[in-house]
Chain A
Amino acid sequence: MKGTNRSVISVFDLKKPGVKLGYSCCYALAAGLAVLMIYPLLWVLFGSLKEANEIFLVPPTLLPKTFLFQNYREAWQIYEIPKVVANTFIAFGGFLLVRFVVISAAAYALSHLKIPFRTGFYMIFLATLMLPFFAYIIPAYLVVFQLGLLNTFWAVWLPAGADSFTLLLLKGFFDGIPGELFEAARIDGASELKILRVIVLPLAKPILAALTIFAFMAVWNNFLWQQIVLSSGDKWTISVALWFRSLGNVGATVAQNIQLAAMLISTIPPMIVFLFFQKYIIEGVTFSGIKG
């Protein structure tokens, strides 16, 4: 057996009946957790296929009497899914562009260019990781207001340029690229911008891919900031639309079965992204937790 495959319990232990029982309990516990996680989702899925009055039937049914796929069509129309998804992608596109341009330049400067007070600058950036979110959400709203950016996508795009997690990851990656690699280009008179664009960024493709996924998940899931700065209906992103039509619009909310259908529609894109890029995401979570 490979060394990495063992943990606390060894093969020898497993031969003892007591340990065997405990090991089975571990499986039972894990299986219980899995059921606890997956069953509610299935239950919601069935709910989304029920008729409006079947949802409030007492005693409740598990499987729907009729599978109403038309709930999904209704949710698609009521929540204006094509429009809000398009808005979310517009928000995401600018968000990513601003973040990559600003942060990759800063990370490159911090790791390969001559600058004074390098550590001081780095600390100014990194210290924001410890800042509590609410200490700046209200004044940041006022900043956006004073810049005249309320109800424009700029309010989502621009703050993306100040993200220390991205900076930390990119600088770490750039540090690993030996300077000799672009010394020749420098001697040939290539500008630093060109070196960054032509040599450094292509090397960083894997990490940029991971950061793209994180940015997508962040924009798709973010609610509070988007709700504050994009309040007019034509700019709503998926989260804001989902909130307003389901819960926020007191007294005129959508029927429960349609709510559930819309909720599941909104879960599909991040689910697809996750299933394809699971490895990156889990590694990113691990990294972001350990960075401190």
Chain B
Amino acid sequence: MNPTMIKPAGERPESLPQGSRLRQFFRVNGIGLAFLLPALCFYTLFQWGPILYNFLLAFQNYTPGLPPVWVGLQNFQRVLSDSVLPQAIANTFAFAGWALLIGYAVPIVAAIVITELRRGRAFFRLAIYLPNIIPAIALYIMWIYMFHPTVGLLNQILQFFGLPGLEWLLAPKLALVSLVIMSTWANFGSTAVLYMASITAIQAELYEAAEIDGAGIGARIRHITLPALQPTMVLLLLLQLLATLQVLQEPFVMTGGGPNNATMTLMYLAYNYAFVNAEFGKAGALGMLLFLLLMVLSLIYVKLTKVVGQK
């Protein structure tokens, strides 16, 4: 029985006059709506409000404390003619691309390998999850030290193998990839834990049956493990893509967008418009363009996965 139906419902509201029908509505639904009201207010103020406000902001010149001025499409023109924009676009997509290239397969392989182990599974799971416990800023401080060209751990390792040390965050060509390496190290554990949960949910009988039918280990992974992981893989591909296209905190803290704008991302550009130049309208315009881009990407993605799923 549906618990919500227990409420004493009023009889035949159709026969009542207009005023008491409204009263009737609130007598039945009033308490429920009152319980919902605070959440609606908070969502309006801090989630939906800001999104809609951003669309307004994009067409205004706004400095906090002064009245907003309507400027039409001017903000968009100024954003699109910003000489840093092409590089920011390239960097953002390069970051997302590298992050998927380096970071997407690692957690899947790690999850399959670790769930295969008969002993010490909990220890290895803890070990790969460890970076997720470290606060973000602490992690960046640690990695700035790791990337240090003369005394950093990474160059020590390279030198141990007789390779020349690299400049990492200080080299324009390498800075972005350095950030990807760091965020892969920091984040793959939580994704691997997700995959591990999906693998543990696979019934052992499936593997037993496949083995009896003579399927080798490779075939079992290809035909049982990977299909079982597919929904998670599909979802995480989108979530990781969206998350990496919004990258801001890593370059903001670790490189300041440098060297020479090599790690300037779209989100960082918007941050600078707003909080460095106090051009909130411009930030709003860039934010709106990004928002539309991500929504379009998500929609295409949903469509594509549906088409692939039907086949």
Contacts and interface: CB of A to CB of B under 8 A. Distances in A.
Interface of A: 3-10, 12-13, 19, 22-23, 26-27, 29-30, 33-34, 36-38, 40-41, 43-44, 47, 55-58, 60, 98, 101-103, 105-106, 108-116, 121, 124-125, 128, 130-143, 145, 147, 158-159, 161-162, 167, 178-180, 183, 186, 192, 220-221, 223-224, 228, 238-239, 242-243, 246-247, 256, 259-260, 262-264, 266-267, 270-271, 274, 278, 282, 285-286, 289-290, 292
A132 B153 contact: no
A202 to B, nearest CB: 18
A37 B280 CA distance: 41
B43 A124 contact: yes
Given A37-B127, A286-B194, A7 B207 contact: yes
B280 A115 contact: no
Contact of A37 (B115, B130, B197, B239): B130
A282 B194 CA distance: 9
Contacts of A162: 39, 42-43, 45-47
A29 B113 contact: yes
A249 to B, nearest CB: 13
Contact of B115 (A7, A145, A179, A267): A7
A138 B287 contact: yes
Given A10-B211, A139-B53, A263 B138 contact: yes
A158 B46 CA distance: 8
Interface of chain A, main secondary structure? helix
B127 A136 contact: no
B95 interface: no
Given A56-B151, A58-B150, A128-B43, A7 B116 contact: yes
Given A130-B298, A140-B50, A158-B42, A37 B131 contact: yes
Interface in B34-90: 35-36, 38-43, 45-51, 53-54, 57, 62, 64
A116 B130 contact: no
B50 A247 contact: no
Interface centre among A29, A102, A138, A242 (most CB of B within 10 A): A138
B194 A285 contact: yes
Contacts of A36: 185
A227 B144 CA distance: 20
Contacts of B4: 111-114, 179
A242 B53 contact: no
Interface centre among B28, B43, B235, B249 (most CB of A within 10 A): B43
Nearest to B231: A290
A5 B284 contact: no
27 contacts: A3-B205, A5-B118, A7-B207, A8-B116, A22-B217, A30-B117, A33-B124, A43-B146, A101-B38, A102-B39, A106-B40, A113-B4, A114-B9, A114-B32, A115-B33, A124-B40, A125-B43, A132-B242, A132-B291, A135-B288, A138-B57, A138-B271, A139-B54, A139-B284, A143-B53, A286-B194, A289-B235
Contacts of B311: none
A167 B130 CA distance: 27
Contacts of A186: 6
Interface residues of B, number: 112
Nearest to A105: B35
Nearest to B129: A282
B150 to A, nearest CB: 6
Interface centre among B1, B4, B53, B135 (most CB of A within 10 A): B135
B308 interface: no
Contact of B64 (A12, A56, A145, A274): A145
A15 B288 CA distance: 60
Contacts of B193: 282, 285-286
A30 B31 contact: no
A152 B24 CA distance: 43
B28 A114 contact: yes
A131 B47 contact: yes
Given A114-B4, A124-B43, A38 B127 contact: yes
Contacts of A137: 50
A60 B252 CA distance: 29
Nearest to A167: B39
Interface string B110-130: 101111111010011111111
Given A243-B253, A266-B135, A161 B46 contact: yes
Contacts of A274: 133
A56 B253 CA distance: 22
B211 A270 contact: no
A256 B113 contact: no
A238 B137 CA distance: 9
B230 interface: no
B189 interface: yes
Interface centre among A5, A38, A140, A143 (most CB of B within 10 A): A140
A267 B138 contact: yes
